[in-house]
Amino acid sequence: MYTFIKFGGSVITDKRGQEAPDLPLITQLAHELAQARQVRPDLALILGHGSGSFGHHYAARYGIHRGLAPGSDYQGFAQTAAAALRLNRIVVDALLAAGLPALALQPSASIQARAGQIVTWATDNLAQALEHQLIPVVHGDVAFDSAQGSCIISTEVLLAHLAHHTSLRPQRIILVGEAGIFSADPRRDPQAQRIPLITTANLASVLNATGASHAVDVTGGMRSKLELMWQLVQAIPNLEVHLIGPAPGQLQAALLGTAQDVGTIIRER
């Protein structure tokens, strides 16, 4: 079984800026992955990351996520893809420097979409990378869209497609971003309480409390991410999704199964 990991774009970059990577944090997360792999060499990992202040900035400026009409100038499409690749290079280089066999795989080179959803994605190379104990690294990216010209495919949608439509079924998904899901926006409400566990019993009330992201995000914010993860939890038996923050040690502990009372776990029961 596989472990899917996502580094949130709002964590590894400053989304209020433009192309502003958090290099110390990216390095920290890379080293935690390496330390976990040293303890558990059998960990089969697929890593994805958001585009943060790289891709989102250009996508919002040119409206790539809304689609491009026939005859439109695709300069913005190219700019968005290039920005996402620049961040991907930073992440992959940090992983390689930490001693991890990371392999960049650009989603837009092999995805066809319709109405914002993946229709086909050639993932044979990704599967072969795993056979060779490599760590495939994908990222939120642009895609050609037969219905609307262009779209953005988020990292969560990429991971969901792998889980639903390939044999690469995850046992765990670890999302490194917000320090969990809260009863209210903790940035605005000091009384907000972290919700340690989301199951069928409290899902509806949690969805009512979640909203959009706090900076430019063309992929829908926290609510859409939660809804997508819940669909996966329902579809894949015994799948557990763990949302954690980037505090030192949390990613390594989550990978090794030693994290205690941090973040939010999503499971069916």
Binding residues for substrate, by number, are 51, 56, 155
Feature table: binding site for ATP: 6-10, 52, 221, 225
* Residue in the block written with tokens 């329902």: 234
Feature table: binding site: 6-10, 51-52, 56, 155, 221, 225
% helix, strand, coil for the chain, step of 5: 40, 25, 35
CA distances from 160 to 61, 84, 130, 200, 260 (A): 27, 20, 17, 19, 26
E runs forming strands in 27-163: 45-49, 102-104, 111-114, 117-121, 135-139, 141-145, 149-153
Contact 24, 113 (CB under 8 A): no
Contact 246, 49 (CB under 8 A): no
Residue of 93, 119, 125, 120 lying closest to 106 (CA atoms): 125
CA distances from 55 to 74, 118, 178 (A): 15, 19, 19
List the end-to-end C-alpha distance of the chain, in Å, as a whole number. 20
Q: How far is CA 229 from the centre of its chain?
A: 11
Contact 255, 36 (CB under 8 A): yes
